[in-house]
């Protein structure tokens, strides 16, 4: 696709990002899916529409906490917003000992990204207070764990900005938890990305989606923890678990297992389930072709440019 005033194009793991007039961005969320920082060979139907619409809802619901990049959503899988200079870190926040944190803990380590985790915890237990475990942002390859001290000492982010990022991260996570609870869910962990225009920090990219977050069902959580049973969850973790069961964790020499059409459709249904549970809305599947998308996005861009002229 080509858009009026296009000055740059970047194809990410799961998003196609177009820069317009060096001032705006068009983010088209594709149906590509990644795990262990590797793009899987088969797309997941409607995944882009799910992610984009969930993110749009939560961006609108949190703009009283921190300004964000979103201007308009001309299509279910597309957002137009402000171009920000991104920080080179992702702010990962965890409310429970799950996923990467649990794998680290299970190996015997008690420190993650410079944060001490107490002894005696079980998988999926709540931390006494949410912890922030940032990572570097890698366009290619793996994101790497990094501590607050390393971020500041290396100059990746100034201390003043990082303190503000921490405040925003914890406030956003609390809002996300409160909203999840209303829907019978627990927001377990998530990540936020931020950027700047001048001296102003903006929340960018997507938030509280199954690609960036993990949810447990609230009903039955305590009983499952007491019995040592796995938690019912809505997240992309089931994709990672399936890959691990089939011998793949993105490491050198490992072969990607076949993603059959049936498996892709099962993953799609899980994404749609999360959309409907998290938003309380019925998901509407929208078939789109590139010509229609290009025309509608260009029309929306003209409206944005006149609005911000």
**Residue 33 CA from chain centroid, whole number:** 12
Q: Which tokens in the block code for residue 160?
A: 């003043």
Q: Helices in 183-253 by DSSP H: which ranges?
A: 221-227, 237-245
Task: With beta carbons less than 8 A apart as the criterion, state whether 1 and 291 touch.
Answer: no
Q: Distance between CA 27 and CA 51 in Å, rounded? A: 12
Provide the pLDDT for residue 163. Answer: 98
Tell which residue, 62, 89, 90, has the closest CA to residue 171: 62
Domain extents for the chain?
86-238
Helix/strand/coil (H, E, C) string of 236-251? CHHHHHHHHHCCCCCC
Residues 66 and 58: beta-carbon distance below 8 Å: no
Phi, psi values for residue 64, rounded to 5°: -85, -15
Which two structure tokens, joined as six digits, stand for 56?
């749009």
pLDDT of residue 131: 98
Residue 54 falls in which region: left (phi positive, over 0), alpha (psi -120 to 50) or beta: alpha
> What is the C-alpha to C-alpha distance for residues 262 and 240, in angstroms, rounded to an integer?
17
Determine the pLDDT at residue 142. Answer: 61
Q: Report pLDDT for 307.
A: 86
- Residues 270 and 57: beta-carbon distance below 8 Å: no
Which residues of the chain carry a pLDDT beneath 50?
none
CATH number of the 86-238 domain: 3.30.470.20
Residues sharing a CB contact under 8 Å with residue 249, sequence separation 6 or more, in sequence order: 36, 243
Element (H, E) at 94: strand 89-96
pLDDT tens readout for residues 167-197: 999 999 999 999 999 999 999 999 999 999 9
């Amino acid at each position: 696709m080509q858009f009026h005033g296009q000055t740059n194009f970047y194809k990410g793991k799961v998003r196609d990002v177009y820069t317009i007039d060096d001032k705006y961005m068009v983010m088209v969320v594709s149906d590509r899916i990644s795990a262990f920082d590797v793009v899987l060979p088969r797309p997941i139907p409607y995944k882009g529409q799910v992610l984009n619409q969930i993110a749009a809802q939560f961006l609108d619901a949190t703009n009283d906490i921190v300004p964000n990049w979103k201007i308009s959503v001309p299509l279910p899988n597309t957002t137009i917003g402000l171009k920000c200079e991104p920080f080179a870190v992702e702010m990962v926040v965890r409310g429970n000992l799950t996923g990467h944190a649990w794998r680290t803990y299970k190996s015997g380590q008690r420190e993650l990204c410079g944060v001490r985790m107490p002894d005696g915890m079980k998988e999926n237990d709540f931390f006494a207070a949410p912890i922030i475990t940032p990572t570097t942002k890698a366009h290619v390859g793996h994101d790497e764990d990094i501590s607050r001290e390393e971020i500041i000492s290396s100059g990746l982010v100034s201390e003043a900005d990082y303190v503000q990022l921490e405040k925003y991260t914890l406030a956003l996570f609390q809002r996300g938890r409160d909203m999840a609870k209303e829907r019978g869910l627990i927001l377990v962990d998530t990540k936020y990305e931020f950027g700047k225009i001048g001296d102003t920090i903006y929340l960018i990219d997507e938030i509280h989606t199954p690609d960036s977050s993990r949810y447990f069902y609230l009903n039955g959580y305590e009983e499952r923890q007491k019995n040592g049973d796995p938690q019912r969850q809505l997240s992309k973790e089931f994709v990672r678990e399936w890959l691990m069961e089939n011998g793949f964790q993105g490491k050198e020499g490992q072969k990607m297992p076949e993603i059959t059409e049936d498996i892709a459709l099962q993953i799609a249904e899980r994404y749609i389930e999360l959309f409907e549970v998290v938003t309380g809305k019925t998901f509407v599947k929208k078939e789109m072709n590139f010509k229609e998308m290009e025309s509608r996005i260009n029309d929306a861009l003209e409206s944005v440019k006149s609005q911000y002229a």
